[in-house]
Structure 1
């Protein structure tokens, strides 16, 4: 090619409006028969302990994407496990996850995850207390692999692999954030390529997405080598803020979060599997977003929805203008909530029962 020959131009990326228009026929076809098939039959017993003593903890809708559907969380009166009931079916999981972490949501959430470097360092550093430099680390539910990319600065000699069931894992491998990316079910892959191969397995905000947390823990036991470690971080539904804020407590994240395992239940299950719990943390994994979420979620709920393919037609200009005006009017409250989250709630999180997450580190015996 001569120097005067112009380089081939990359095709322009479609605008969001064009992407939404292209996706709308599929979504409308999915919704033509209603949302009933997106749910399994309602359970009459707790999926953790089998008790029939259940009570409704929360009724809500999709406060994030505004996809249609109504969701219920129930709590077991015996073991205090909180779970979605009725739970999403396989079709429902595919429908509600679609375009959240990938597709339409990939750029927005990918950027948000990439900026959480300090959080990722805080997740990796506790392992220094127990192992000098693990050779192999598997991050389950790694998404786009940003944790692995950051954790490599804490453990530069460690090989980080990732596993996820979305195409984010392919992005993570392509960008070099993980050495190997495994796409699929952890419970299925644990008995094959992954068995006994890792010094550390981490599950950061993964277990609550699982349809069967016990199976995931058994898969982790298979994957961690004897003497290796399992690190789990999940939302804490026992937080006082979860009770006070109700449906506006951001970590409920309906309809994606299916199970909220209390710390005592998780500790007993890990012990029964053959792990020794060596650390429990509440203050350290707390993410200062509760008050911010309690302002943002109502704003997003009551402002006119932005254009999305699961809506029958695009909103008109007046609706979009009203949305912008309402969000702009709420900006001072969002700023105030952010400040209060950091200067008021975070320092008290561990002592006052306000922490929105807990972390467990367990050694396989």
Structure 2
């Protein structure tokens, strides 16, 4: 394999002679992929490379858009997302008046940010598509292609489980960072390749999510990527995410459903304790600030 740049040790990539995993994806764009890990820092990459990942998301048919969720699951997620939005707004040094959610998906986080920020704030939802995923009022939707006028104007930019979806992490981060004004705040969250559940579920662990996850971050590689862009790291957080429920579905070879969601919800205290004790969470979050 031609070694891609290693996020934590650029110029010193050590990917070895064999992949860590070979995964059958069931996706016609890329039915089989290999996961390679750098032996220097653990950072992972999915191969073969994809110069353009947009075909994977055509029609918003991938699981990223959560269209499968039933009504009661959506209600619980809305409650959790509203709580999250209030915490995200508190990361900014002053109440943010211009907010963007980069890679908004189904728009749930953008709507929650608009509710939490209040009527004096303007929230923009940004994604691949020309049209929004559904009604987003009062959120303003824009495609990436049409969003250039917003560059350098945002007090707060959120980017949740997006950075891992592109082969070129540095270029993707630069696209996100373009929206953050000097002195503005960026909140990035990605899956953790060193999640405690990876050995338990193996190929079925949802954190692999092939072929959609193109890179697989460690603490070191995510931190190094942001620092190389000149960002000031304000805080790092371990996040207990939905890996358990999605991995159970993969392991059982069934679609995610309400029963598995309820089971994972009941086991969530166990998941949280295991991730806390091992310091191997299912996701990593970094709050960073662009120098003024």
Residues 1:193 and 2:149 are matched in the alignment: yes
Give the aligned partner of residue 339 of structure 1: 266
Aligned residues: 282
Give the aligned partner of residue 286 of structure 1: 240
* Residue pair 1:230, 1:363 contacting (<8 A) in 2 also: yes
Distance of 1:77 and 1:175 partners within structure 2 = 44
Residues 348, 46 of structure 1: CA spacing in aligned structure 2 closer, same or farther, 3 A cutoff?
same
* Residue pair 2:91, 2:287 contacting (<8 A) in 1 also: no
Residues 1:235 and 2:191 are matched in the alignment: yes
Residues 254, 140 of structure 1: CA spacing in aligned structure 2 closer, same or farther, 3 A cutoff?
same
Distance of 1:198 and 1:68 partners within structure 2 = 36
Distance of 2:66 and 2:92 partners within structure 1 = 35
Per-residue CA distance 1:247-301 (angstroms, 9 max, x = gap): 111121111110122222222232232211011000xx311441x3333113336
Query: How does 1:158-177 map onto structure 2 within 5 Å?
Result: 158-166=121-129, 170-172=132-134, 174-176=135-137
Per-residue CA distance 1:155-178 (angstroms, 9 max, x = gap): 1132110111135x5234x43252
* Match among 118, 131, 148 for residue 79 of structure 2: 118
TM score, norm. by length of structure 1: 0.68
- 1:203 to partner: Cα distance: 0.4
- 1:205 to partner: Cα distance: 0.5
* Residue pair 1:141, 1:164 contacting (<8 A) in 2 also: yes
* Match among 22, 33, 41 for residue 79 of structure 1: 41
Distance of 1:193 and 1:210 partners within structure 2 = 23
Which deviates further from its counterpart, 150-159 or 254-263? 150-159
Could you say which structure has the higher helix fraction? 1
Distance of 1:278 and 1:73 partners within structure 2 = 31
Which one has the largest radius of gyration?
A: 1
Aligned-partner SS, 1:44: coil
* Residue pair 1:152, 1:160 contacting (<8 A) in 2 also: yes
In structure 1, stretches of 5+ residues that fail to align are 1-42, 304-326
* Residue pair 2:51, 2:167 contacting (<8 A) in 1 also: no
Query: How does 1:1-365 map onto structure 2 within 5 Å?
Result: 43-48=1-6, 49-50=10-11, 51-54=13-16, 55-62=18-25, 69-90=31-52, 93-101=53-61, 107-108=67-68, 115-124=76-85, 125-156=87-118, 157-166=120-129, 170-172=132-134, 174-176=135-137, 178-179=139-140, 181-184=141-144, 192-282=148-238, 285-290=239-244, 292-300=245-253, 336-340=263-267, 342-365=268-291
